[in-house]
Structure 1
Amino acid sequence: MRITNKIIQNNSLNNINTNKQLEDTLSTMLSSNKKIARPSDDPIIALRSLRLRTSVNQVTQYVEKNVEDAKSWLTVTEKAIDTLSEIITDVRKQYVKGTSDTLKPEDRTIITDNLEALAAEIYNTGNADFAGRSVFAGYRTDTTITFQKQESINYEITEKFDDVTVDSIKYVNQGADENSTFETDIVRIRLSYDKIDNLESLSLTSRISSGTYTVVTKSSSESPDPYQTVISHDNENYAVFVPETGELLLSKKMADSTDDIADCSVTYNRSKWAKGELRPEHYFNCTATDPVTHEVKEYKSHGGEIQYNIGVNQSLRINTTADECFTHNIVRDLQDVIEAIKDVNDIEERIKTLKDKYDELSETDVTGREALQKEIDAANKAYTFLNNKMHSLFSKSITKADKYLDKNNVALTDCGTRSKRLELIENRLDTQLESLKELKSENEDADLAETAIQMKSAEYSYNASLMATSKILQETLLNYI
């Protein structure tokens, strides 16, 4: 094959371009610190790089956003539950003070004021939020657990009791004389709300022998009052519903045959709501009817656990629902105590008034004095009953407060356990992220020292090819003619 100058020239140019391309490639690697500039440079590296970058972005999302959000949510929740525990502890301290036998009227007034102030704070704690989302409201994060203002919304609430043990209360009948003044135990089922409009339905599953029972609604202002009414029907399967207090009073016969009620369901309506009261939709199956638009909304109880994705195929529950710690009974028990204190204060005031009237009567008014003395004796007897009831209620309330604290501690421990688990997952994700970044760097990043040496070598090769080509092309056929 005849080698011409043109062939030599083309081959030399091709070699020069090859060396120049290598130098350009190495220069790009050195300036970008990447092994490839485009996928076609090395499809294997490009494909592996795409996979690693996806993994890095995914884990970064978990570490920097999901985990951080979950940590903040759990922190807010823990602080709120801890605050609730402190409030219940303060309530318990007031109960302990109330057990003292040396309480004066002014002492009871102080205890009442303190309990009312604490009652107002209990549920406000449950309105804690994270980034505008209510942390105890389940899926309904746009709604606080309490009403923020006085509202008139008609709720039809179905309250279910499972394995209910009925509650016994002391009733003191204040008669005109000592014989008609007495105390007795009345069994009740207390609903979560008072000031109820009307009772829609009541369903009891129990061991009532006859299988039937009578339920009547009676206002506390009626005469005879609901308590006297249910006492008068002790030999029947009879119940009295008191709308003002939200109590279902059971006759003695009905109470005896309904020990440990297997199931109880009560449906009732309530339309007036004060600021700070718990919203029913966070606790019960209910419907709410807007008084203006008449729009009806249906709610299901226990609005759900919020799960955060904190890893590949791994999630963690971050929320605690209101029913786990902010229960209705906390304040309902507190209201019972305040009412018992009020009853004692009222009877003391009545005794004082009667004694003042007695002192004002003339000593010659024997009949009037005897009548007043009977009333004073009856009032003193009622005072003894009511005072004993109050002290007994204080003692029982201490035990109940301890149970609420235990329930609260369970919720707090559960929240702390999830925080600890989140911490362990975060540590693992940090390690995983570092490993992925290292693999990504090994796959994509160029070795600067090696690349610099290769580039210098390519530069020498390029210069050598230029020198060789220039010498070869200097000699032509004309030099020999």
Structure 2
Amino acid sequence: MRITNRIMTNNAMYNINNNKINEDRIFTQITTGKKIDRPSADPVIAIRALSLRATMTELAQYYEKNSKDAQSWLEVTETSLSTGSHILTDIRRLAVSGPDTYKTLQDWTTVVNQMDTLADEYYSTGNVDYAGRYIYTGYRTNSTLTYPQDTTEEYSNIHDEFNADHIDTSTRVTNMQKLADGDEITAAAQKESDMKRYEVGRLRLSYDNIKTSVPPSVNDISVKYREPMLVSAVSELQPDTRNIKTVNLSFTDAGGQSHTVHVPVSNGAAAGGASPAVVVEGETYSAAKNPGVPTTYTLNTASYGTFTINEKGVITAPPAFPTGNVLRATTEITESRVATVTFTADTSSPLETVNVPLTTECRQPYTVACENGYTAQVNTDGTVTLSKSVGGASPMTKTVRMTANGSVSTSYNEVEKHPDAVITGATSQDDIDTLYSDLAAGTKDMVFNAVTGELLFSKKMQTTLSGLKDMQNAKTIDVVYDKSNFKKGETRPEHLFTCTKGGIIYNSGSGGHTMHYDVGYNQTIDVNTTADDIFTNELKRGCQDLKRVLAQMSDVDAKLNTLKEHLRTETNATNKANIEAEIKAAKKAYDYLTDTMKRQFSTKITEVKDALDRESDAITVNGTRSMRLDLIQTRLQSQSTTFKELQENNEGINMEEAATNLATAKNTYSASLMATGKILQHSLMDYI
């Protein structure tokens, strides 16, 4: 091969260029700290870098953001729970020392005011927020637990549930209102024998000042108590071949309100029979297969017309929207499982079997008509309540509660009662005395005091309710009432009870408002403690009882002091005898009230103990979550370190090695320049 000067020059220049490129590459590595500056430089490193960077981004989200946010939430909860526990401990200390320490009216006044103030502070801990979100109110993080001021809001069908151990006694001293103030010394004096004490059964509701109609009606409140069925309900899922078609309709009405409905098509409907009626928000829906065209369905509504749907779930009629009261609508045909429930309600009932379609939940509860006169209410959490009311000599409602997957959680017979009389603010003290007397004598079974928020029972009714056995997954007594006026510091019903406000039903199912934080790969942690885990209204209601007795004691004490002053100045013998009789009667009434106050303090000890137990359980659960989060954070930190090291090894360079390589590259580049310069000084002609 012939070697020319051009070949030698080109080779020398090529060598210089390569050496310069290599020097620049190493210099760029040192400058950036990375092995490559573009994916094409090393695709393997580039692909691995993308994977490692994605992993590091996820770890940073979990460790630096999610877990830190969860930790802060748990720490705020821990501080609030600790504060509540200290407050309850102070209340318990006052309650324990009360009966033996406090003797005078001033003593009682001081301690009751202290306990009431501490109770207010305890409930205020329920309004603690984290980053503007209230920590105890579940998903309703923009709503306080208690009312910040006196408020008027209409709540209906508040379900206030209790167990039998909540039944206690109510004590009333009659004829206290007839005690003279001292200026009626010529009137017939009250005697000691006139001061009678009646004790009747009582169930204290969670609120006072319950709403009543005008005039008040015994139907303003209903008391439902539950007893286990003779043979508890069991359920069995039917095979998939027994699944039923369900028409799922979502539409927007002319007013812009969105609706979602799940309407099952019964097996009988396949042959043209009637389908189960579904009632949602007061509207009735039904669906059936068209006998003439078995691959299509007809969905009937009372207010929104009729829809024809093909087997693919497409609406074929009406052909277009908007039409009538519907702006837009979509449908889907799905299948729903069927659960067969079997039970025997009582000795007078046969073994019953009911097939229940397990349809999907909506944002509001809805009912599905089932066979044999039963209806299934599908709650907002997917749970189902199967029920049927029966009349006769012993009217009751047979009820079976089911989970979303069709298993039975509890079953019972529910008996509904209404009071014989209602006490309102317009009821006179004499009439209230008479009602207590009637209850004690057994001529009345139940009286509702709407002012104090109490149900009062005869001995017979008290025995019946107190003897109810606790049931699994259900309380034994359900009191349903309305309320509209709330005082500052009272809890909002939607945080503790099933209730209705503005047409919206709150807490219709048993599902909680648990917030889950993603704190790792396939790892979540519950961060919130809901109000119903800790708070009840019993603590505040107990303080109201104490204040009510204290007010009566203050009233009697004032009358007693006035009577004593009049006795000191009175000269008429008849008047003096009247006053002395009044004084004896007042002292007896005061002694009765003092005894009632001491009993209330004993009850208060139990109330505070129960509250402390709930608080301690919540502290334990919250602490366990924090410990688990600490372990997760430690693991995340370790993973971050490991993947950071892998990322550095994959992308990063060894600076010492790179510096050595750069020095070598520079020397090589310089040497190539020198060699090329030497070569280019001569040509091939110099050797001829």
Superposed pair shares fold, TM > 0.5: yes
In structure 1, how many angstroms separate the alpha carbons of the residues matched to 2:105 and 2:655? Answer: 87
Whether 2:438 is the aligned partner of 1:232: answer yes
Shift of 1:279: 1.2
Following superposition of structure 1 onto structure 2, how do residues 76-155 of structure 1 map, counting pairs within 5 Å? 76-100=76-100, 103-155=103-155
Other-structure match for 2:208:
194
Contact 1:206-1:258 within 8 A present in 2 as well: no
Contact 1:173-1:180 within 8 A present in 2 as well: no
In structure 2, how many angstroms separate the alpha carbons of the residues matched to 1:177 and 1:170? Answer: 23
> Unpaired segments of 5 or more residues in structure 1?
290-295
Query: What's the CA shift string for 1:192-213, capped at 9, x where partnerless?
Result: 1111112354322259995574
One of 213, 218, 222 as aligned partner of 2:423: 218
468-477 or 316-325: bigger deviation: 468-477
Contact 2:167-2:203 within 8 A present in 1 as well: yes
One of 174, 178, 182 as aligned partner of 2:192: 178
CA distance 1:329–1:414, shift in 2 (3 Å) = same
Whether 2:611 is the aligned partner of 1:404: answer yes
Contact 1:354-1:375 within 8 A present in 2 as well: yes
Query: What's the CA shift string for 1:42-71, capped at 9, x where partnerless?
Result: 111111111111212221222222222222
Shift of 1:84: 1.3
In structure 2, how many angstroms separate the alpha carbons of the residues matched to 1:326 and 1:70? Answer: 22
In structure 2, how many angstroms separate the alpha carbons of the residues matched to 1:336 and 1:67? Answer: 45
3-12 or 422-431: bigger deviation: 3-12
Other-structure match for 1:15:
15
Other-structure match for 1:334:
543
In structure 2, how many angstroms separate the alpha carbons of the residues matched to 1:119 and 1:346? Answer: 24
Shift of 1:441: 0.8
Aligned residues: 473
Shift of 1:341: 2.3
In structure 1, how many angstroms separate the alpha carbons of the residues matched to 2:160 and 2:221? Answer: 14
Shift of 1:180: 3.9
118-127 or 261-270: bigger deviation: 261-270
In structure 1, how many angstroms separate the alpha carbons of the residues matched to 2:226 and 2:152? Answer: 33
In structure 2, how many angstroms separate the alpha carbons of the residues matched to 1:271 and 1:104? Answer: 38
In structure 2, how many angstroms separate the alpha carbons of the residues matched to 1:348 and 1:206? Answer: 46
Q: Secondary structure at the match of 1:416?
A: helix
Other-structure match for 2:638:
431
Other-structure match for 1:280:
493
In structure 2, how many angstroms separate the alpha carbons of the residues matched to 1:404 and 1:315? Answer: 29
Shift of 1:421: 1.8
* Percent of residue pairs bearing the same amino acid type: 38
CA distance 1:36–1:364, shift in 2 (3 Å) = closer
CA distance 1:324–1:226, shift in 2 (3 Å) = farther
Shift of 1:214: 4.2
One of 513, 517, 522 as aligned partner of 1:313: 522
In structure 2, how many angstroms separate the alpha carbons of the residues matched to 1:348 and 1:405? Answer: 35
Shift of 1:479: 3.3
CA distance 1:206–1:357, shift in 2 (3 Å) = farther
Shift of 1:160: 4.0
330-339 or 256-265: bigger deviation: 256-265
Q: Secondary structure at the match of 1:100?
A: helix
Other-structure match for 2:594:
387
CA distance 1:402–1:202, shift in 2 (3 Å) = closer
Q: Secondary structure at the match of 1:240?
A: strand
Following superposition of structure 1 onto structure 2, how do residues 249-268 of structure 1 map, counting pairs within 5 Å? 249-261=456-468, 263-268=476-481
Other-structure match for 1:47:
47
In structure 1, how many angstroms separate the alpha carbons of the residues matched to 2:45 and 2:394? Answer: 83
Contact 1:218-1:242 within 8 A present in 2 as well: yes
Q: Secondary structure at the match of 2:193?
A: coil
Following superposition of structure 1 onto structure 2, how do residues 320-399 of structure 1 map, counting pairs within 5 Å? 320-365=529-574, 368-399=575-606
CA distance 1:133–1:360, shift in 2 (3 Å) = same
Contact 2:174-2:433 within 8 A present in 1 as well: no
In structure 1, how many angstroms separate the alpha carbons of the residues matched to 2:531 and 2:515? Answer: 13
Contact 2:499-2:506 within 8 A present in 1 as well: yes
Shift of 1:241: 1.3
Partner AA of 1:188 in structure 2: R
In structure 1, how many angstroms separate the alpha carbons of the residues matched to 2:658 and 2:102? Answer: 91
233-242 or 59-68: bigger deviation: 233-242
Other-structure match for 2:262:
none
Q: Secondary structure at the match of 2:613?
A: helix
Note the aligned Cα RMSD (angstroms). Answer: 2.6
Contact 2:553-2:594 within 8 A present in 1 as well: yes
Query: What's the CA shift string for 1:102-141, capped at 9, x where partnerless?
Result: 6112212222332232233221122111111111111111
259-268 or 80-89: bigger deviation: 259-268
Partner AA of 2:427 in structure 1: E
Query: What's the CA shift string for 1:59-114, capped at 9, x where partnerless?
Result: 12222222222222212111111111222222223223421266112212222332
Partner AA of 1:204 in structure 2: Y
Shift of 1:333: 1.2
Contact 2:172-2:436 within 8 A present in 1 as well: no
In structure 2, how many angstroms separate the alpha carbons of the residues matched to 1:77 and 1:300? Answer: 23
CA distance 1:101–1:243, shift in 2 (3 Å) = same
In structure 2, how many angstroms separate the alpha carbons of the residues matched to 1:243 and 1:170? Answer: 15
164-173 or 31-40: bigger deviation: 164-173
Shift of 1:312: 1.4
Shift of 1:244: 0.9
TM-score by length of 2: 0.64
Contact 1:214-1:237 within 8 A present in 2 as well: no
In structure 1, how many angstroms separate the alpha carbons of the residues matched to 2:560 and 2:101? Answer: 19
In structure 2, how many angstroms separate the alpha carbons of the residues matched to 1:405 and 1:355? Answer: 45
Query: What's the CA shift string for 1:151-207, capped at 9, x where partnerless?
Result: 221112422425332422242332443334322332122211111112354322259
Shift of 1:362: 3.7
Shift of 1:286: 2.1
Following superposition of structure 1 onto structure 2, how do residues 162-177 of structure 1 map, counting pairs within 5 Å? 163-175=163-175, 176-177=190-191
Kindly indicate which of the two structures has a greater share of residues assigned to helix. Answer: 1
Query: What's the CA shift string for 1:340-367, capped at 9, x where partnerless?
Result: 22222222223333344445544442xx
Query: What's the CA shift string for 1:370-392, capped at 9, x where partnerless?
Result: 54444433333222222111112
Contact 1:195-1:270 within 8 A present in 2 as well: yes
Structure showing greater Rg: 1
Contact 1:145-1:282 within 8 A present in 2 as well: yes
Contact 1:158-1:265 within 8 A present in 2 as well: no
Kindly indicate which of the two structures has a greater share of residues assigned to strand. Answer: 2
Partner AA of 1:28 in structure 2: T
452-461 or 370-379: bigger deviation: 370-379
Shift of 1:281: 1.4
Q: Secondary structure at the match of 1:99?
A: helix
276-285 or 225-234: bigger deviation: 225-234
Contact 1:23-1:459 within 8 A present in 2 as well: yes
In structure 2, how many angstroms separate the alpha carbons of the residues matched to 1:182 and 1:44? Answer: 95
Contact 1:23-1:458 within 8 A present in 2 as well: yes
Contact 2:171-2:199 within 8 A present in 1 as well: yes
